[in-house]
Amino acid sequence: MPAEFQVFLQQVVDGIANGSLYAAMAVAIVLAHRTTGVVNFALGEMALVCTFLAWQLAAWGAPLPVAIIAALVFAFVLGAGIERVLMRPLRNKPPLASAVVALGVFLVLNQVCALIWPGAQREFPALVPALNLEFAGVRIGSETLLLIAVLAGQAALLWWFFRHTRLGLRMRAASDNPESAVYIGIEPNRLFTLGWGLSAIFAAMAGILLAPSILLTTGMMFPILIYGLCAATLGGLNNPFGAIVGGILVGVTENLASTYLPFIGSDLRIAAPLILVFIALLFRPHGLFGTVQAERV
Amino acid sequence: MKLVVSALSAGYGNSRVVHDITLMVGPGEIVALLGANGAGKTTILRALSGIIPRAGSIRLDDREMIDVSARDIVRAGVVHVPQGRGTFGGLTVGENLSATQTGSVVREAELRDKVCRLFPILRERWTQPAGELSGGEQQMLAVARALMLEPRILMLDEPSLGLAPLIRIELFETIRAIAADGIGVLLIEQNADLSLKIASQALLLSHGRVVASGRPDEIAGSGIIEEAYLNHAG
């Protein structure tokens, strides 16, 4: 295999690895949006708090799986609690109100995290033994394989949940037409709270999957949130599958652009996926896999 | 199951829209609520569904329902098909029907077969998003979705609104068949003639109050319908 092609393949694989992370965050964003119609800008920092919590529990001696499960349970409570206390009163207000409150939650959680865990960066324990596998000269790490496996599992789980479970159908129904849902005995508020709790779990999983490959800092989730928002917008805000494809496209575009376009380099690498999103939205305003609800009268 | 409403008042915010409403719907009966736009017909159905605050008495057999939540009213067997159909446009026909269910899978399949016998077109449209159905098909879906909840009392708000005359007649025949199955029907319909044809009782509303009630032939022959509509318009 020519060396240049091997470099290209390596960049694509690394892009898929980064993109899987963005996709994990994008799935959380889509889940919150699909169940409540709100773009939850606070998801990144919700993930941050939960990742620090998992680290703290592990540092205190809890087995890593127990620490992670406890952090995910906390994520659910945090997400559901924020929806119940802060978002529900804004349900019938203009969407900007929810967006501004979500940004406020973002700042508060970030500061709370800095207050509880000040100072030096922290190292998160490895989730799987570090291995570098090589296929045709292209390296792929065991953490990346875990990330892809978790993402595939999440995608399959969400597809099954929303298509084939009554709870998933009722969540979609409540999101589609909350007033009408009441007429068939659905309580939309409960399902919205549940939706936010579940989306917080998915965001926390993104944080925990990212953590072993970097040092924990209070700024670590911000870029993931931005890329995740790009991915969700690119794929379509109402489609978890689109979020995954969007995440991978964003990751690969970012990597290839920074490698092959010298004027982008590492400083402007975030610009490449943003341009991609811009171009895609010009042609498909609801994202690559987003759907517009047709309504015949 | 009998729905007995007495001294019901309800409204929005601080304004009361309907006052001192008394009505009864027994098994298999079709009770028509007539009145001009703004007379309070929809408000009565919304009050009975628990969607808006209300006072008075709503009894379902021996159970007082005035303080019962909207969800528990549905569970008790009182189901409302709102004006404008209220289907879930982004869900397929099949998903719209399945979203109602909390019972066993077997029961769901039985109910699905039953509503598809009543509205065969729904089976053909099964995987199509509800938002893409025609107005008549959406109305059928809305009624079918309500029937999936096994109602004892079915409340229909303007089911024929925007439908072609032939489909309207077909829909009213289906409503008659639903009542023949033992379900009490409370029907709001702008087309008074059509609803009086299938109703067993009728109530005429004006300015939020019942101004006349009785058998359809009594109401239709008395001239009070025209009077109520004209008074309201004036």
Q: Which domains does chain A have, with CATH numbers?
A: 3-283 (1.10.3470)
Q: Rounded to 5 degrees, what angle do the CA atoms A34, A38, A41 make?
A: 115
DSSP B92: B
Query: What architecture (CATH level 2) is domain B3-86+153-233?
Result: 3-Layer(aba) Sandwich (3.40)
Q: pLDDT band at residue A296, thresholds of 50, 70 and 90?
A: low
Q: How far B100 CA lies from chain A's nearest CA (Å)?
A: 6
DSSP strand pairing (B3-12 vs B15-25): antiparallel
List C-alpha distances in Å: A146 to A21, A141, A203, A209: 11, 9, 16, 8
* Of residues A242 and B1, more confidently modeled: A242
DSSP codes of every residue in B33-58: EE--TTSSHHHHHHHHHTSS-EEEEE
Q: How many CB pairs under 8 A join A and B?
A: 86
Residue-wise pLDDT for B69-110, tens only, equals 999 999 999 999 998 878 999 899 999 999 997 778 888 899
| Res B225 pLDDT > 80 | no
Which residues of chain B are within 8 Å of residue A186 when distances are taken between CB atoms? 71, 99
- Chain A residue with CA closest to B136: the answer is A297
Residue-wise pLDDT for A66-76, tens only, equals 999 999 999 99
* Of residues A231 and A38, more confidently modeled: A231
Q: Is the minimum CB–CB distance between B98 and chain A shorter than 8 Å? A: yes
| Res A295 pLDDT > 60 | no
Please name the member of A170, A172, A177 whose beta carbon is closest to the beta carbon of B86.
A177
Taking CB atoms and an 8 Å limit, are B79 and A184 in contact across chains?
yes
Taking CB atoms and an 8 Å limit, are B138 and A296 in contact across chains?
yes
The interface predicted TM-score of the complex, written ipTM, equals: 0.88
Residue-wise pLDDT for A232-272, tens only, equals 999 998 888 899 999 999 999 999 998 888 888 777 888 88
* Tokens linked to A80: 């559901």
Average pLDDT along chain A? 90
Taking CB atoms and an 8 Å limit, are B88 and A177 in contact across chains?
yes
Please name the member of B75, B89, B99 whose beta carbon is closest to the beta carbon of A169.
B99
Element (H, E) at B145: helix B135-148
- Chain B residue with CA closest to A164: the answer is B95
Q: Give the domain ranges of chain B.
A: 3-86+153-233
**What does the pLDDT read at residue A111?**
95
Q: How far B218 CA lies from chain A's nearest CA (Å)?
A: 33
Q: Average the pLDDT over B141-165 and give the result.
A: 92
Q: Is the minimum CB–CB distance between B26 and chain A shorter than 8 Å? A: no
